[in-house]
Chain A
């Protein structure tokens, strides 16, 4: 079974704090993704990574950065948290396949509240 874990289920931080969200997968997947999910807006891609030390911006990268030092770990960093970053954050991973049908496996999510 594919397992994607995230460091925290719930997190409360203050405006201006630096926040680290960590994601670990145990299936040797090349591709990893960070999304945020907000009511009415669905899942939106923040950043993704196709390999170690490689990262690409998704649709809403502003205010975020990422780090991928090891294949199994993908970290999302909020340099200076703001209240509009209060959201559910979901990590996903998938194999680097040839086709377009590779399933993305999701972690349990981190619900971040910024006060």
Chain B
């Protein structure tokens, strides 16, 4: 079992719809969870992080964390073509600032 798992996609959503991305992790000691966006040929950029159970909203993005189920998700509301990218889930390891990344979910927003 991979430490951090994501569906590779592509996840195709119509413009204006909600995109829902999922991520599961295996290390119960993980404390913080990050979502990065990566455009083709570019480096990852942070969208948001979450460390408490529940929801965290930032603009059109909402991260949801359920530590009991070892599950973190990202919702993108009112999806735009500019949201078409690969979204990487990253989990902070129990010790230190090291992150473990999932393989990423490719999202395609169609006008």
List residues of chain A with CB under 8 Å of any chain B CB: 31, 33, 35, 40-45, 48, 50, 58, 90, 94, 96-97, 99-109
List residues of chain B with CB under 8 Å of any chain A CB: 4, 8, 31-32, 34, 42-46, 49, 51, 88, 90, 92, 96-104
Report B-chain residues with C-beta under 8 Å of the C-beta of A99: 31-32, 51
Q: A42-B101, A104-B90 are in contact. List 11 more A-B contacts (CB 8 A).
A: A42-B88, A43-B88, A45-B98, A99-B32, A100-B92, A103-B34, A104-B34, A106-B44, A106-B45, A109-B42, A109-B43
Shortest Cβ distance from residue A39 to the other chain B in the assembled complex, whole angstroms: 9
A102→B44 contact, CB < 8 A:
no
**A4 to B88 CA separation, bound complex (whole angstroms):** 19
**A101 to B34 CA separation, bound complex (whole angstroms):** 8
Q: Take A94-B97, A100-B32, A103-B49 as given contacts and tell me if A42 and B102 are in contact as well, using a CB distance cutoff of 8 Å.
A: yes
Please report whether the interface of chain A is mostly helix, strand, loop or mixed according to DSSP: loop
Report B-chain residues with C-beta under 8 Å of the C-beta of A94: 97
Report B-chain residues with C-beta under 8 Å of the C-beta of A106: 43-45
**A105 to B102 CA separation, bound complex (whole angstroms):** 17
The 3 tightest CB contacts between A and B, nearest first, are A106-B43, A100-B31, A100-B32
